[in-house]
């Protein structure tokens, strides 16, 4: 499909970052406005090259990273849609292109080149903005990457960026006093001697955060009048009547269009029911309840979605290509996309063990609505289901739960085989 369209050149060597002073100058106004406080821990004597792992809640993350790493050169891993219309600029400032949630050995080579240049290799390993200000799933290979690079591992964990500009409600909410901690969690010597599982355990420990809990603990008051607008994108299932896909939100109110129950989001990020029981006052708790419901569907073998969708392809960074309508299926076997593009039938699948998570967008580019984007090494597909009987948030949760379920069952089966062999 689209065989005559050139693909993005992933193998082109990353440039060493230019314009560091200018980039820092462009970042300063936002950092000053939000009164960002940066703390450095265990960073004495830590100089490039090193691996920098950052959490991901909003665009402000990049500005804080610029502050934290200045004046050193940094190469950032950036998703291909970030390059659209400005590939030359992103390459010039040292960015490395990645198609999300793909196993890409080319990226590993690029990161090794950055390290050999004596620079900082910066990765946002969650690979998407957090949906509700809590940790997203991390790739299991992260510890192996750190072990292979044999350089210090540094984390940069920001607090306040999600509640200031949540993925589902992007305007600036005027949060002041955001915080960030830059911390060396693995020294160069430890990177050479520790097992990759121990390195991964340290990374996972540092990547535990909850922006709504941070807001409450620090008394950050948000008076933004539309602070609940878009929240139904994440909280798509009503905990009162259990109906899915009929939640709505506006102003400071979240409501279910099926049963009529509503909740108000206060200035400190808590929810309270306007009548009756408040099932979840903490937004991440509601989100994890939805995850548990999806997990039950997966464990029962009943999880399934099939629907018609409009599809855009992104083979390179020039522009999206409308390839028409297709049928999207997401079930116990993974994702499947079937359609016809430019007179050619196609049938593309992503198996369960192939995706530990997936990337989604809410009201992407303000044009076509919510979408899931699925990637192969040379193609990216932005898939916009029609109607309202779906939630891309559920696609993301189901992808993660299907992956976990698959490997859990596989390990159980392997253990039984070993036990049977031992008996005989």
What's the CATH code of the domain at 357?
Answer: 2.30.29.30
Average pLDDT on 190-195 reads 96
| Residues 404, 391 share a domain | yes
- Write down the pTM of the prediction: 0.94
Q: Rounded to the nearest 10 degrees, what angle do helices 142-149 and 105-116 cross at?
A: 40
Contact, 141 vs 37, CB < 8 A?
no
Is 352 a domain residue?
Answer: yes
Query: Distance (Å, rounded) from C-alpha 404 to C-alpha 65?
Result: 31
Q: Which of the two residues, 419 and 174, has the higher pLDDT score?
A: 174
Query: Distance (Å, rounded) from C-alpha 153 to C-alpha 135?
Result: 18
Is 7 a domain residue?
Answer: no
Tokens read off for 365: 């580019």
Q: Mind listing the pLDDT tens digit for each residue in 392-403?
A: 999 999 999 999
Apex 135 CA angle, 305 and 177, nearest 5: 130
Q: What is the pLDDT of residue 3?
A: 79
Radius of gyration (C-alpha) of the chain in whole angstroms: 22
- Strand 359-361's sheet: what is its strand order? 344-351, 334-341, 321-331, 304-313, 379-385, 371-376, 359-361
| Residues 348, 289 share a domain | no
Is 225 a domain residue?
Answer: no
Q: What is the pLDDT of residue 412?
A: 78
| Residues 335, 271 share a domain | no
Is 369 a domain residue?
Answer: yes
| Residues 213, 236 share a domain | no
Is 244 a domain residue?
Answer: yes
Number of H helices, E strands in the chain: 11, 18
Is 1 a domain residue?
Answer: no
Quick one: DSSP state of residue 118? T
| Residues 277, 382 share a domain | no
| Residues 336, 280 share a domain | no
Measured distance between the N- and C-terminal CA atoms of the chain, rounded to whole angstroms: 52
Q: How many domains does the chain have?
A: 3
| Residues 130, 59 share a domain | yes
User: What is the span of the domain harbouring residue 320?
Assistant: 303-412
Q: What is the pLDDT of residue 422?
A: 64
Q: What is the pLDDT of residue 17?
A: 80
Q: Rounded to the nearest 10 degrees, what angle do helices 392-423 and 283-300 cross at?
A: 50
| Residues 45, 165 share a domain | yes
Is 92 a domain residue?
Answer: yes
Among the residues of 183-282, which ranges form H helices? Answer: 188-193, 196-206, 211-217
Average pLDDT on 355-384 reads 94
Q: Mind listing the pLDDT tens digit for each residue in 317-363?
A: 999 999 999 999 999 999 999 999 988 999 999 999 999 999 999 99
Phi, psi of 385 (to 5 degrees): -65, 145
Residue 179: strand pairing partners? 37, 159
Collapse the DSSP code of 20 into the 3-class scheme (helix H, G, I; strand E, B; otherwise coil) and give the result: helix
Tokens read off for 271: 């929810």
| Residues 70, 111 share a domain | yes
| Residues 32, 158 share a domain | yes
Q: Rounded mean pLDDT of the chain?
A: 95
Please say if the pLDDT value at position 420 is more than 90.
Answer: no
- Strand 253-256's sheet: what is its strand order? 247-250, 253-256, 262-265, 271-273
| Residues 386, 314 share a domain | yes
Q: What is the pLDDT of residue 345?
A: 94
Q: What is the pLDDT of residue 4?
A: 85
Is 354 a domain residue?
Answer: yes
Residues in contact with 59: Cβ distance below 8 Å, sequence separation at least 6, in sequence order: 165
């Amino acid at each position: 499909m689209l065989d005559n369209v050139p693909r993005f050149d992933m193998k082109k060597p990353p440039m060493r970052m230019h314009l560091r002073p200018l980039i820092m100058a462009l970042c300063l106004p936002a950092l000053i406005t939000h009164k960002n406080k940066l703390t450095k821990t265990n960073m004495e004597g830590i100089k490039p090259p090193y691996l920098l792992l950052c959490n991901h809640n909003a665009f402000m993350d990049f500005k804080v990273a610029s502050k934290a790493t200045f004046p050193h050169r940094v190469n950032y891993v950036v998703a291909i849609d970030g390059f659209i219309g400005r590939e030359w600029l992103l390459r010039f400032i040292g960015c490395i292109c990645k198609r999300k949630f793909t196993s890409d050995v080319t990226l590993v080579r690029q990161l090794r080149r950055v390290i050999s240049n004596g620079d900082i290799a910066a990765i946002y390993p969650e690979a998407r903005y957090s949906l509700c200000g809590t940790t997203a799933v991390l790739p299991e290979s992260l510890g192996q990457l750190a072990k292979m690079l044999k350089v210090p591992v540094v984390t940069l964990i920001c607090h306040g960026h999600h509640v200031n500009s949540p993925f589902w409600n992007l305007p600036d909410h005027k949060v002041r006093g955001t915080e960030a901690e830059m911390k060396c969690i693995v020294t160069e010597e430890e990177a050479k001697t520790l097992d990759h599982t121990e390195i991964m355990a340290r990374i996972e420990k540092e990547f535990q955060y909850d922006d709504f809990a941070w807001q409450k603990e620090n008394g950050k008051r948000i008076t933004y009048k539309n602070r609940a607008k878009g929240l139904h994108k994440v909280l798509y299932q009503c905990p009162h009547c259990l109906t899915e896909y009929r939640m709505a939100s506006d102003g400071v109110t979240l409501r279910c269009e099926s049963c009529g129950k509503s909740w108000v989001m206060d200035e400190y990020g808590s929810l309270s029911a306007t009548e009756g029981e408040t099932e979840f006052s903490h937004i991440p708790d509601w989100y994890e309840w939805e995850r548990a419901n999806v997990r039950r569907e997966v464990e029962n073998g009943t999880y399934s979605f099939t629907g018609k969708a409009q599809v855009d392809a992104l083979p390179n960074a020039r522009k999206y290509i409308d390839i028409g309508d297709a049928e999207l299926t997401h079930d116990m076997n993974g994702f499947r996309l079937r359609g016809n593009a430019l007179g050619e039938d196609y049938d593309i699948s992503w198996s369960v063990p192939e995706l530990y998570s997936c990337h989604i967008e809410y009201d992407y580019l303000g044009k076509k609505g919510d979408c899931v984007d699925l990637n192969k090494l040379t193609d990216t597909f932005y898939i916009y289901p029609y109607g309202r009987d779906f939630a891309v948030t559920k696609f993301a949760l189901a992808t993660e739960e299907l992956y976990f379920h698959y490997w859990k069952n596989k390990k159980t089966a392997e253990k039984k085989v070993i036990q049977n062999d031992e008996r005989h």
